[in-house]
């Protein structure tokens, strides 16, 4: 009888240890854990976003002569979704006017990396940064003696990245400047949740016909800042994997460790064990 009591007590103790162990504190949650003191890191991976096929570009030319500059700008056509009106696509599919916004007219880069620019004709723009493209258009206008004092402004219209997984606000975010880092993207998504795995953040990037997957460790600042994935490119996908603690929260029956159903099951099991111990004691 004593042996049976001892075995049951050992079993109950083991169940409690396993239960408490599943609620352990997750490790490796601090960013840049290798930077324990003031540190200077030389960054070799600076990368601005560059024009790719299917990008949408807004290119605005201005001059002291507004009428002359107007020849090199797309017509201002307003289109509102659901309010009728006509969306004029011009003579070339590279022109997309009135994209569900007022006053935003843009060029779509074709599969060959070209746009059809007013007066200048077809221009190859793939691989250029925003400033390079502005300088290129300005040079063409001045080199052909079309405008003496052009000012050219280039903006990316549809450029963005997606952030998925264990972040507070997953979704697609627009890239509003030339250099957007992985840390910027995670910040826009509200940072990782406490259950996000800091050591295994993945960045998926389309390069031509292939997709490259980079694995980034946020706890190692020196490696992070020199990773090819530190500076993001348009349409990158950032995925934060749940850590082991988060994975263990999901039980076989689909409940989580924080759900009422899970704890009711635990209480039921412990009650049954307690009743069994009492019966044996009798």
Residue 96 to residue 107: CA distance in whole angstroms = 6
pLDDT of residue 80: 41
pLDDT of residue 152: 96
CB 55 within 8 A of CB 159: yes
Q: Which of 114, 139, 128 is nearest to 61 (CA)?
A: 139
Helix (H, G, I), strand (E, B) or coil at 128: coil
pLDDT of residue 79: 42
Residue 181 to residue 260: CA distance in whole angstroms = 40
Residues 6+ apart with CB under 8 A from 194: 26, 29
pTM reported for the whole predicted model: 0.66
| Count of C-beta atoms within a 10 Å radius of residue 34 | 13
How many alpha carbons lie under 13 Å from residue 52 in its C-beta half-sphere? Answer: 15
pLDDT of residue 94: 43
How many alpha carbons lie under 13 Å from residue 184 in its C-beta half-sphere? Answer: 19
Q: Which of 117, 110, 114 is nearest to 60 (CA)?
A: 117
pLDDT of residue 3: 59
Residue 152 to residue 147: CA distance in whole angstroms = 11
pLDDT of residue 95: 39
Q: pLDDT below 70 — which residues of the chain?
A: 1-45, 76-104, 244-282
Q: Across the strands, what pairs with 201?
A: 216, 240
CB 73 within 8 A of CB 119: no
């Amino acid at each position: 009888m004593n042996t049976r009591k001892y075995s049951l007590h050992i079993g109950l103790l083991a169940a409690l240890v396993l239960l408490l162990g599943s609620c352990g504190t997750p490790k490796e949650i601090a960013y840049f854990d290798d930077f324990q003191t003031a540190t200077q890191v030389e960054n070799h991976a600076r990368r601005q976003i560059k024009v790719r096929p299917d990008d949408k570009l807004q290119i605005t030319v201005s001059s002291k002569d507004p009428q002359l500059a107007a020849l090199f700008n797309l017509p201002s056509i307003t289109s509102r979704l659901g309010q009728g009106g006509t969306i004029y696509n011009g003579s070339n599919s590279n022109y997309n006017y009135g994209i569900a916004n007022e006053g935003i007219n843009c060029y779509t880069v074709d599969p060959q990396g070209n746009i059809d620019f007013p007066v200048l004709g077809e221009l190859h723009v793939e691989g250029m940064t925003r400033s390079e493209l502005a300088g290129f258009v300005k040079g063409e206008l001045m080199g052909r003696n079309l405008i003496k004092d052009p000012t050219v402004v280039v903006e990316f219209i549809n450029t963005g990245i997606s952030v998925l997984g264990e972040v507070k606000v997953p979704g697609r975010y627009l890239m509003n400047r030339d250099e957007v880092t992985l840390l910027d993207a995670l910040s826009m998504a509200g940072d990782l949740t406490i259950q996000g795995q800091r050591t295994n953040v993945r960045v998926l990037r389309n390069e031509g016909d292939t997709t490259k997957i980079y694995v980034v460790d946020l706890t190692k600042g020196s490696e992070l800042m020199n990773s090819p994935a530190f500076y993001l490119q348009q349409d990158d996908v950032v995925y934060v994997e749940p850590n082991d603690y988060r994975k263990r929260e999901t039980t076989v029956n689909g409940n989580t460790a924080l759900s009422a159903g899970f704890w009711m099951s635990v209480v039921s099991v412990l009650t049954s064990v307690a009743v069994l111990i009492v019966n044996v004691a009798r």
